[in-house]
């Protein structure tokens, strides 16, 4: 049995039809860049989150309003950092490989989950370490723990990534529709 000669040297029969090694290499590059960027930014932003969030002394713990405000502040700070990171990383990945928006979407969402979990864990671990070396003391009174009361803020980064990719996809579609209608109109009037 003989196989027909391949007309395209970049095509691998083990891959899907029309899928080339170069395209697979581009997809792999986007995924790796997304995960590496998420790890680096997650570690850095975890330290920022731990440092930025105010912690009230336990002496004020009897007042429920003060505790609620402290937890709300930690959640809002986390959400703001995740929002900024989601915008920056997703736009960077889109600029890197705009022609592979599906791979960019997967990489951005994966980066969002990895980055958000790292921000949260780094902040919590630094708080635990600070308690062990007595850095969490204000005027001789221990401070409240740094926690996330709304676990949904872990989804801010992935949701922002999906929204940006959806916006870019819609913009690309709109440009294509306008170009096709313009070409159709100019061909119709000739």
Longest dimension (CA), the chain: 85
Buried b (16+ CB within 10 A) or exposed e, 93-104: bbebbeebbebb
User: Mean pLDDT throughout 55-61?
Assistant: 55
Task: Say if CB 11 and CB 86 are below 8 A apart.
Answer: no
User: For the chain, which residues make up each domain, given as ranges?
Assistant: 21-162
User: Mean pLDDT throughout 176-182?
Assistant: 87
**pLDDT-derived band at 135, boundaries 50, 70, 90:** low
**pLDDT-derived band at 18, boundaries 50, 70, 90:** low
- What pLDDT does residue 149 have? 85
Tokens 């997703």 label which residue? 90
- What pLDDT does residue 181 have? 84
pTM tops 0.85? no
- What pLDDT does residue 33 have? 93
Angle at 94 between CA 38 and CA 174, to 5 degrees: 145
User: Mean pLDDT throughout 55-63?
Assistant: 54
- What pLDDT does residue 24 have? 73
Which of 59, 55, 39, 34 has the alpha carbon at shortest distance from 122? 39
The more confident residue out of 84 and 72 is 84
């Amino acid at each position: 049995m003989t196989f027909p000669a391949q007309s395209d040297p970049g095509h691998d029969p083990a891959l899907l039809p029309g899928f080339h090694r170069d395209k697979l290499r581009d997809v792999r590059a986007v995924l790796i860049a997304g995960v590496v960027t998420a790890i680096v930014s997650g570690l850095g932003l975890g330290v920022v989150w731990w440092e930025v969030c105010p912690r009230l002394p336990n002496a004020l713990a009897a007042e429920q309003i003060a505790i609620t405000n402290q937890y709300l502040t930690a959640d809002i700070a986390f959400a703001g950092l995740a929002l900024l990171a989601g915008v920056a990383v997703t736009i960077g990945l889109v600029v890197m490989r705009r022609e592979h928006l599906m791979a960019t979407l997967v990489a951005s969402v994966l980066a969002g989950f990895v980055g958000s979990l790292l921000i949260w864990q780094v902040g919590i671990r630094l708080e635990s370490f600070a308690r062990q070396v007595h850095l969490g003391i204000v005027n001789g009174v221990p401070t409240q723990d740094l926690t996330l009361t709304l676990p949904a803020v872990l989804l801010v980064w992935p949701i922002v990534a999906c929204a940006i990719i959806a916006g870019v996809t819609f913009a690309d579609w709109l440009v294509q529709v306008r170009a096709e209608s313009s070409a159709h109109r100019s061909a119709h009037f000739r």
